[in-house]
Amino acid sequence: MTAVKSALRTLQILEIFAEQRRPLSLGELARLMETPKSSCLALLATLADCGYLYRVGLEGAYYPTRRWLDNASQVAEHDTVAAEVKASLRRLRDATGETAIDAVLVGDRSVYLDVVESSELVRFTARAGDSKPLHASASGRAQLGVLEPAERQALVRKLTLERITSRTRVTQRALEQTVQEESARGWSANYGEFRPDVISIASGLRLGATVHSLVVGAPYQRVEKKVDKIGQAVRAEAQALARRLQGQGGAGNKETRR
């Protein structure tokens, strides 16, 4: 898929402001975006004309208006699927005491859509928009397990199976075998294959035409002996979520594979 540069730069501006948390001048934005001032100025002027940025102070620094938040809030308030998923994540967080995540299959990556963090001082941290390779993440392998065999095999053949830790599976045969075993069980477990100090457990499901997985991530030592119990809880929550949304017309015909 060919990226649209102007769209990427608009998103980049919003991400920069989120990171910097202060008004920024044209020069600062151009430097952070690694783009010429003339191109940056045209984009800033357009966003300002549309009400998404405003000028601050005598030096004319820029800062986002609430229009971003207001529009995003309007969208979120009418997303019934997201509300149901959020409720599932909160139940998983409360039941396990650990961070719960909704992830979606996008191309050859598993992308986090929503995160409900644990209240523990030492916890697995994640942000919406983070992504993980399919072969080295519980979220990704759970999503692979939801696909039809031919669809899964075609996708696996396209993956770059990079070794990230000493535990990472780096052959198609090993990945296929693991996905089949985990799919039959109903949940996937990642023992330090992406981050050596983290265990993640996930169960996949279809919501409409999209492949999701519910995930619990936690420090390795704290949950090493509780993986089976957490896996059963994640599988049960994923199946219940699929049934609820199917009843609302928001999910496909297939529930979590067992």
Domains by residue range for the chain, with CATH: 5-70 (1.10.10.10), 79-247 (3.30.450.40)
Question: What would the pLDDT profile of 111-150 be if each residue is shown by its tens digit?
Answer: 999 999 999 999 999 998 899 999 999 999 999 999 999 9
The Cα-based distances of 188 to 60, 204, 251 in angstroms read 52, 9, 21
Check if the beta carbon of residue 222 is closer than 8 Å to that of residue 151.
no
Question: What would the pLDDT profile of 181-215 be if each residue is shown by its tens digit?
Answer: 999 999 999 999 999 999 999 999 998 889 999 99
Q: How far is residue 125 CA from its own chain's centroid?
A: 12
Its pTM stands at 0.72
- Token match 């896996």: residue? 231
CB-count exposure of residue 14 (10 Å: 0-12, 13-18, 19+)? middle
CA-nearest of 253, 244, 225, 216 to 142 is 216
Q: Measured between alpha carbons, how far is 202 from 223 in angstroms, rounded to an integer?
A: 14
Task: Tell me which H or E stretch contains 141.
Answer: helix 138-146
